Amino acid sequence: MNETLWRRSDEWIGATVEDALVMISVERGTYLHLNPTAAVAWDILESPVSAARITEHLSSRFAVTPEHCAQSVATMLRRFEECGLIVAS
Amino acid sequence: MAVPLHRAAAFGLHWLSDLPLTPFEPAPPGAGDVTILRTDHLADRPSPRPLNNGQIHPDGFRLHWGQEAVFDMFDGARITYLPGPEWTGAFPSSLFGTVAALTLAWRGALPFHACAVELDGEAFLIAGPSGSGKSGLTAGLIGVGARFVCDDLSVLQAGAGLTISPGRSTMRLDPALVGSIDAVDRAPAPGDARGKWLVRPRARTALGEMPVAGLLLLASAGRPIQPLERPAVLTSEVFRPRWLAAFPNHRERLARILEHGRGLPIARFPSIGEATVTDPSQRARDALTALAGMRRP
């Protein structure tokens, strides 16, 4: 089991707009939007958390199987990391 | 060091200086927020971080304005100026633009490259690239009943909501537009390479501070700007963005833009280069209609 704990990087700040999240990079000035599901994951990432814990939370909240959710969370965390949104704790 | 004899108000602050602050509104006696005084030598300032034509220090910034003057700002409250070889005896326009904007930003304000007008107690920003017709449209709006708030530089405060105070009391206009506006005074802008004039509109807002109700973006036609896009649009209109990004309060400023920008209505309006309506009065009336459409019910 992957026990890596992920946390938000200091580079990005965000604000909720109509259930989504608008994010801006403090260092680069670039913007991105997180959809409502990713915005929930961002909320969870306020404290260091594992992919398994995020999967557990999202699959209990949204109508999705744990297996499918785990795959989606892995993809999302990879994209978050590529964008510099999160770092391994 | 000389005594500050001149008092003026602009951008919500009181400014005291040893030279006239002509583009600002005269202010009655009282304590000042920012004092501007001549110096005969540059202070030895710690930890300089070079940026454009100046540098940033832990307690402020230094700005070299050509050969005219060097400005030193300390803690958002004190500015000194050292005249250079091309000093004219009066402040260069940069004091009332870049230096003032950076000083206000150091104090936590949000400066934008935009004009502003007041309608029934609310302010509307008019933004867009240089040459898009911001000042011309502002002059047109004044002609159809709006009151002047700011030209080219608008400085917002973020508290319970976004608010704005009047900035410089003059507009910088093309000579062709100078006669179109009812003005207290008008004269060629000293040293303006584009030949623009300084015009002080008669219809200036009487309010010291007012809420900002929307932003008119002079741009190409396109789909309506969605709430998700508002903070990015607003950020793209920040005044002197490279300087502000290097300030220690940059993160807090972006957070305020995010927090407040998401609720600020933004509407597109054709820039002067893309306008199909060429009659200035009709263009101003169309802009007035666009502003009315942004008003909260």
Per-residue confidence in pLDDT tens, chain A, 89 aa: 558 999 999 999 999 888 889 999 999 889 999 998 999 999 999 999 999 999 999 999 888 898 999 999 999 999 999 999 999 98
Q: Which residues are registered as beta bridge partners of B51?
A: B54
The band of B220, judged by pLDDT with boundaries at 50, 70 and 90, is: confident
* Phi, psi dihedrals of residue B48, rounded to the nearest 5°: -70, 140
Taking the C-alpha atoms of residue B5 and residue B27, their distance in angstroms, rounded to an integer, is 11
Residue with more model confidence, B107 or B176: B107
| CA-wise closest residue to B149 among B218, B211, B217, B231 | B211
Give me B105's structure tokens.
């930003």
Task: For residue B245, list chain A residues with Cβ-Cβ distance below 8 A.
Answer: 29
Taking the C-alpha atoms of residue A19 and residue A15, their distance in angstroms, rounded to an integer, is 10
Neighbours of A58 (CB within 10 A): 21
CA angle in degrees (0–180, nearest 5) for B257-B258-B261 = 65
Cβ-contact A31, A22 below 8 angstroms: yes
The band of B275, judged by pLDDT with boundaries at 50, 70 and 90, is: confident
Look at the block and give the residue holding tokens 């459409």.
Answer: B293
| Cβ contact B235–A29 (<8 Å) | yes
Residue with more model confidence, B192 or B241: B241
| Cβ contact A17–B227 (<8 Å) | yes
| pLDDT for B1 | 55
Facing residue for A13 by CB, picked from B228, B230, B255 = B255
Facing residue for B262 by CB, picked from A13, A22, A26 = A22
| Dihedral (CA of B11, B213, B294, B266) sign | positive
Q: How far is CA B137 from the centre of its chain?
A: 16
| Cβ contact A29–B251 (<8 Å) | no
Taking the C-alpha atoms of residue B118 and residue B25, their distance in angstroms, rounded to an integer, is 17
Q: Which residues are registered as beta bridge partners of B57?
A: B60
**Taking an 8 Å Cβ-Cβ cutoff, which residues of chain A contact chain B?**
13-18, 20, 22, 24, 26, 29, 31, 33
Smallest CA–CA distance, residue A12 to chain B, in Å, is: 9
Q: Provide the CB-side half-sphere exposure for B172 (13 A, CA).
A: 21
Task: For residue B230, list chain A residues with Cβ-Cβ distance below 8 A.
Answer: 17
Q: Return mean pLDDT, chain B.
A: 94
Region B30-50: mean pLDDT is: 94
Phi-psi region of B16 (alpha: psi -120 to 50; beta: other; left: phi over 0): beta
DSSP H or E run through B81:
strand B78-83
Cβ-contact A78, A86 below 8 angstroms: no
Q: Looking at chain B, which residue has its C-alpha nearest residue A13?
A: B255
Q: Looking at chain A, which residue has its C-alpha nearest residue B264?
A: A17
* Phi, psi dihedrals of residue A5, rounded to the nearest 5°: -100, 130
Region B22-48: mean pLDDT is: 94
